[in-house]
Amino acid sequence: MARAIGFLVYPGFQLLDATGPIAAFEIAGRLSPGAYSLHFLSLNGGLTPSSSGVVIQTTALADAPRLDTLLVSGGDGVKVPAACARTLAFVREAGRLSRRVASVCSGTYVLAEAGLLDGKRATTHWSRTKDFQRRYPKIRLEPDRIFIQDGSVWSSAGITAGIDLALALIGADEGEAVARRTAQQLVVYHHRPGGQSQHSALIDLRPGRFDALLSWARQNLSESLSVEQLAVRAAMSPRNFARLFSQETGVTPAKAVERLRVEAARALLDSGPLQVEDVALETGFGDSERMRRAFIRAYGQPPQALRRAAKAS
C-alpha cells in the first residue's frame, strides 16, 4: 500500500520548501511504483499562494487522508499556521497517528507550537536561530545542521535542505539505491549528511581579490598553506599579503585556512569511514590534537562528539 505523504502549505509559504521535497517523492514514486501517494494540504483547501505568487491546489485539512508522513513547509507566512488552533490540532494529531512528522525551514515553528519538539533536538534556517531559541527554550536547537531526526520527528534547515531531508526519508523507506537514483534525477548530491554545516567558510568571508586564492586553498588543504606560501601565490610580500588579506576578508590568513580545514574535516567525518587521525592528515591539520582544538574553537565540541551526533541523526 502506498505511503501517504502530506505536504502542509499556507498563504505565503516558500515555494521550494514544498516543491523540492514534492519532486523528490514524486521521482522516488516513479522509481519504486506504488511507494507513495502525494497530498497537498492547507487549512481550508483550494488554491494556496506561495510567497512568489505561484499557487498550489490543495485539500482541506478536514478532508486529509490518514498520513504516513506529514511535512510542514516554511516561509514568511508561517506565523499564521503557527498560531492557528485548527492547524496545530491537525499537526498534533499527525504526531500521534502518523509514522513521522517533518518540517522544512521555518516550518519548525509549527511543530514547536504543536508541542512535538519539546525536549527534542531540532534545526531550522540559520537566520531564525536566535528567535527560535528565545521562543522555545525546551527545544534543543542545533542551528548548524542540514537536518535532524529525533525519534519520529524530523526537521531541516532552509530551502534546498528540504531536498536533503526528503532524500533521507526516501532512503529510510525504499533503500539507499532508490534515494541515490532520485538524487541523480534531481541532479543533486546524494546526499549531504545531516550533520553538515548550513554555512560555507568561503561564504562567511568578505568577497574580494582573494576569492580565487581561497578557492585554490580549499582544493589543496594538505599543503602547508602558510602565510609565506599564500603570499607567493598571491604575488605579494608576506607582510603586505597578511595586512591586505585581513583588511579585505575580516580574518587573518591563518584563521581563514583553519575555517576551510574545519569545514572539510567535518564533512569527511560525517560522511566517510575515515578515522579521526586520517581526516586530520587529509585536511592538513597534521595531527588529531590540533584538529580537536580547532573543532572546539569552531563548534564547541571535539570531532568525535560531532561524528556521534551525525550518526545518531
DSSP 3-state assignment of 40? strand
Give the separation between CA 218 and CA 230, rounded to whole angstroms: 12
8 A C-beta contact, residue 57 and residue 46 = yes
Residue with cell 548550513: 198
Query: Which residue(s) pair with 153 in the sheet?
Result: 101, 150
DSSP 3-state assignment of 49? strand
Give the separation between CA 260 and CA 262, rounded to whole angstroms: 6
Residue with cell 575580516: 250
Give the separation between CA 308 and CA 313, rounded to whole angstroms: 9
> Out of 82, 94, 105, 306, which one is annotated catalytic?
105
Phi, psi values for residue 60, rounded to 5°: -65, 145
Contacts of 311 (CB under 8 A, 6+ apart): none
Give the separation between CA 81 and CA 104, rounded to whole angstroms: 14
Whether 84 is catalytic: no
Give the separation between CA 59 and CA 125, rounded to whole angstroms: 27
- Catalytic residue positions, numbered: 105
